[in-house]
Amino acid sequence: MFHALYAQAQRQLLAGQLGLDRMGELMVEHTARLLDMQLEAAGAYARIGVDQLRALNTLGGPTGVGQYLQTQRQLLDATVGLWSRDLNRLSGLGQQFNQDMNSATEENVVSMADFLRRSSRDGG
């Protein structure tokens, strides 16, 4: 009797574990995507900062001030574009993660329901 109870408990744990493994994989993959996005964004924003420092070198006279202001306007446009891009990407990552987790949850529920039906039909 103990062996049968142990075997049943082991099957139930294994059936539940498969769904948790998939969710764990999704968490790791999503974290990697977020890190990739953050590293890319950090590089892009750092380049904008360096471009601002370079633009300071053009302040040699009246034409230099005009050129500096034009460069600042271009950098501002680039920054706004990056913000928009990053917000859209972050939103897309969140939506994709939500869909993936919902799908994994549904698969887990179906798997557990099938397992429970088989267990009750087979008598344990």
Q: pLDDT value at position 77?
A: 94
- Could you read off the pLDDT of 14-45 as tens digits, one per residue? 655 556 777 888 899 999 999 999 999 999 99
Q: pLDDT value at position 83?
A: 94
Q: pLDDT value at position 114?
A: 78
- The torsion angles phi and psi of 61, rounded to 5 degrees, stand at -175, -165
The answer to whether 79 and 48 are in contact (CB under 8 A) is: yes
Residue 47 pLDDT greater than 60, yes or no: yes
Pick the residue with more confidence: 11 or 49? Answer: 49
Q: Where are the domains of the chain?
A: 17-113
- Could you read off the pLDDT of 53-107 as tens digits, one per residue? 888 887 777 788 888 888 889 999 999 999 999 999 999 999 999 999 898 888 8
Residue 124 pLDDT greater than 60, yes or no: no
The answer to whether 17 and 111 are in contact (CB under 8 A) is: no
pTM: predicted TM-score of the whole model, two decimal places: 0.64
Residue 110 pLDDT greater than 60, yes or no: yes
Tracing tokens 């964004």 back to the chain, one arrives at 41
Tracing tokens 């900062």 back to the chain, one arrives at 49
Q: pLDDT value at position 40?
A: 94
Q: pLDDT value at position 118?
A: 78
Neighbours of 47 (CB within 10 A): 13
